[in-house]
Amino acid sequence: MDTQSAYLERLRPLGAKRSGKRDLIVDVFLKQDGHLSADELFDLIREQDQKISRATVYRALHWMVGAGVARKVDFGDGRSRFEHSYQHPRHFHLICKLCNRSFEFLSSDIEVLVEEVASARGFETRQSVLQIYGTCDDCQAGRSVQRTVAATELLFARDALRMAIATERSGLEFYSRGAELVDDPQARTVFQRLAAEEREHLTTLEKRFEQLLLEDSDLESYPTFLFFKGAADGLFASGTDRLAKVADDREALMLGIRCERGSYRFFKRYGERFEDSEGKRIFLEFAAEEREHLRLLIGEYRKLVGRSKAADGSSSPEAEVAG
């Protein structure tokens, strides 16, 4: 059973019979990109089966919305449209009032603000919907031929890889510089090891990005889909700037711990809130790598503290390391 079939089986109520017609409708719907009206989906279904009625398609759409397979969206033109949520991350829309096209994006800042407002009101959220109306750049420029946009999943994977690559590059610079600055031989070895791992992971991610570009030669030219403050330049960039100002090796290791912990929490937090998709997998895979680096740094920090205590009886902020 493929992933999509298994997903739909889990949604079917216990004891419910399979419906060949509904399965066909769901299958056709999930193969479409963008936003479909009920009538547009009906026309696509009739190409597969002339006997399926419009009412059957409407009932299937209603079931998909209730089961979480589809989302209902309204672009303000009097027609309800539907987009699939299977392997499709939660997102928001820019809607052009002249050409009626919609453009998807995801913003961590909007997500955080929605959570803060809901929490302050004691409100339990189930779905976030943001629609911004205006005029797209094609219509502003008077372009009669409108540019195409890649599927959301492809844009999501592209931007997730961009963030992972930027973080890996900043991590490589951080650990390479740290290996030059620390005096403790064992701490230097850890920094060198992590720099080597960052270099290896970076090569893997860059190859993965090249493979993704083969799916669409124009992929790099499409607008940004993921907006995350502080992630575009890599999550270790600010730590690298502070590294030259640290007082000793323990402080250098502590700075590495803070950077790795921040990176791990970032990728884990957002990876877990996305629906199943390639972008989600990229985020969670990267979070797992950062967790292993974090464990290594914490272990080395504690060893260094132990060696220091044995030498001069000094103490260190263990609580911050364990946090």
- Per DSSP bridges, beta strands 80-84 and 102-107 are unpaired
Q: Are residues 50 and 189 in the same domain?
A: no
Residues 244 and 289 occupy one common structural domain: yes
200 in the same domain as 127: no
Low-confidence residues of the chain, pLDDT below 50?
Answer: 1-2, 13-16
Q: Scanning the structure block, which residue is given the tokens 């002249």?
A: 98
Determine the Cα–Cα distance for residues 72 and 120; give it in Å rounded to an integer. Answer: 27
Q: Assess contact for 41 and 61: CB atoms under 8 A.
A: yes
pLDDT at residue 144, as a whole number: 77
Asked if 54 and 82 count as a contact pair (C-beta separation under 8 A), the reply is no
- Residue 6 forms part of a structural domain: no
Helix ranges, the chain (H)? 3-11, 20-30, 38-48, 54-67, 108-120, 137-141, 152-181, 185-213, 237-243, 249-273, 278-312, 318-322
Domain identity same for 117 and 58: no
Tokens for 12, please give them. Answer: 């079917």
Same domain, 25 and 65: yes
The angle subtended at Cα 72 by Cα 66 and Cα 73, nearest 5°, is: 160
CB distance 246 to 252 below 8 Å: yes
Same-domain pairing of 209 and 294: yes
Q: Rounded to a whole number, what is the distance in angstroms from the first to the last CA of the chain? A: 42
Distance CA 163, CA 227 (A): 10
What are the two backbone dihedrals, phi and then psi, of residue 87, each rounded to the nearest 5 degrees?
Answer: 55, 40
d(CA 119, CA 111) in angstroms, rounded, equals: 12
283: nearest Cα among 293, 273, 292: 273
80-84 sheet: strands from edge to edge: 36-37, 80-84, 70-74
Q: Is residue 1 one of the residues assigned to a domain?
A: no
Residue 241: domain span: 152-322
Cross-strand pairs, 74: 80
Read off the CATH number of the domain in which 110 is found.
3.30.1490.190
* Same-domain status, 116 and 175: no
**What is the structure's pLDDT at 9?**
55
CA atoms of 267 and 117, how far apart (whole Å): 23
Domain count across the chain: 3
Residue 108 is assigned to a structural domain of this protein: yes
Which are the contacts of 5, defined by CB distance < 8 A and separation ≥ 6? none
Q: CB–CB of 37/79 below 8 Å?
A: yes
Output the domain CATH number for residue 181.
1.20.1260.10
- Tokens 């989600």 identify what position? 280
pLDDT at site 257: 96
pLDDT number for residue 73: 78
Q: What angle do CA 247, 321, 271 make, to 5 degrees?
A: 115
Structural domain ending residue among the three candidates 52, 67, 86: 86
Looking at residue 130, its pLDDT comes to 82
Are 134 and 94 spatial neighbours (Cβ–Cβ below 8 Å)? Answer: yes
- pLDDT on residue 316: 52
pLDDT for the residue 284? 95
Contact 161, 144 (CB under 8 A): no
